[in-house]
Amino acid sequence: MTELASRTNTGDLPDHRVAQEAMTEPPPRNLRLLQALLDTPTIKPVVERVTPPESAPSTEAAKSKRGFISKLKLRHAIIGIGFVALVAIPTAVTTAYMAFVASDQYHSSVSFSVRSIDSMQATDLLGMFSQSSAGSTVSDSYVLLDFILSERMVQLVDEAFGLDRIYAPRGTDYYFGLKSGLPIEDRLTYWQSMVDISFDHSSGIMTLEIKAFEPETAQKVASFVVAQSEKLINELSVIARNETLKVAQTEVSNAEGRLYQTRAAVRSYRDQSQEADPVEGAKLAAQLVASLEQQLVELRTGLSTALTQMGENTPRVRVMRSQIASLEKQLERERQRFGSGSASKQGRSANQFGDVAGRIQQYENLQTQNEFAERAYTSALAALEKARVDAAAKQRYLAVFIKPTLSEFAQYPHRIMDTLLVLLGSLLIWGVLVMGYYNIRDRN
């Protein structure tokens, strides 16, 4: 019935309608293939125009989208792996170590300052603090600061307690513990990490904090460090005192030697001249000359009187003339010995200190040197005594006003703070690397 209907319908159509339907029917497959092989390239734009306008752009967008997604996934994977390796793992390891492995640490704090005895002369509290923190006590404080953090202190603590024993690793905590057999440089680094010392320049107060795994050990080590510091300050005081007195003692020794030499010279002069004081001898010589001159005047007067009554050849006149000649010769000798007249000058040229005047000059020179030596020796003794007083007044000492404390709970390590520091540091490193990668990528 279907075929009959179709035939009936076809038969009923006009001839031109049948021909039009035959032309609109698609050609066979073989014919289409042959036509595609025989077509020229000029037909391609037509084919491209025939294709829907949305097909080609949608295909390119899909391809670019798939490439972008693949690249984005690779880059994000690298960044994610870096975040895990640089941030997540170190933070997790640090958290686990601080929570389950790190040992508790206790601290013992002590406060002291370097004082001087002369600072007690201050009239008020402010003046005392200003004097105690001024001058050489500040330099002594810095010396003490370096001494506590020096290799010498490490050696002293090691000899007294044994660093390998008191700071040995507790359990598996090898990060905060001290390995045995390390050189002195590594021990010094570890000691400086376990010691915290601060110095207030305005007040001169030093605060020392010693860390250890047991509170009793921290207190003992802190007490030992304070004792060694006090010993050092005492040694510095003794050295300063000796240096201050050394100069004064040297001056006293020199003055004493000079005084001994001048006194020896005076004694040698007295032995040679056989007189204690040439000035007194000169007085006696002057008196003798005056007496001889008086006798000579009396004899000359008597001779003049006798000549008016007697002749030249009388025995009395001859005796008187002989006495006058003897007195004149003796007077000339006394004057020469005393150092007067032209004859005495010639005598001094031959023997400078043979006369009384030369001996007086020599004695006065020796006496002047002796007096100067005595005064210098007296001044040196006074300077030595003053130096002793000053050295005793400026003596340093260590004033401990907060003794080493004993902790009741562990203050170290700072578990949360250390973990946060590791996290922030890791994030910083990771962020710098990521920004560097993007900066290089944008430039290229």
DSSP string, 166-216: HT---TT--SSS--TT--HHHHHHHHHHHEEEEEETTTTEEEEEEEESSHH
* Residue type at 157 in one-letter notation: V
- Round to whole Å and give the CA distance between 305 and 36: 195
Q: List pLDDT tens digits, range 99-153.
A: 888 888 899 999 999 887 764 444 444 444 444 444 467 888 888 999 999 999 9
Question: Of 116, 227, 125, 105, whose CA–CA distance to 166 is shortest?
Answer: 105
pLDDT score, position 50? 42
- Cross-strand bridge partners of residue 108: 210
pLDDT average, residue stretch 246-252: 84
- Round to whole Å and give the CA distance between 94 and 73: 30
- Round to whole Å and give the CA distance between 1 and 5: 6
**CA–CA distance from 443 to each of 74, 126, 151, 439, 440 (Å)?**
20, 65, 52, 6, 5
Q: List pLDDT tens digits, range 57-115.
A: 555 555 555 555 555 567 778 888 889 998 999 999 988 888 888 888 899 999 999 88
The tokens for 181 are 């057999």
pTM over 0.85: no
**CA–CA distance from 418 to each of 87, 94, 95 (Å)?**
14, 8, 9
**CA–CA distance from 167 to each of 10, 81, 162, 337 (Å)?**
113, 38, 8, 95
In terms of residues, how long is the chain? 444
Q: List pLDDT tens digits, range 12-41.
A: 444 445 445 545 566 666 666 656 656 544
Mean pLDDT, rounded, of the chain: 76
Report the relative pairing of strands 195-200 and 106-116 from DSSP bridges. unpaired
Query: Could you tell me if 101 and 172 are in contact, meaning their C-beta atoms sit under 8 angstroms apart?
Result: yes
The tokens for 19 are 């021909």
- Structure-model confidence comparison of residues 198 and 309, the more confident one: 198
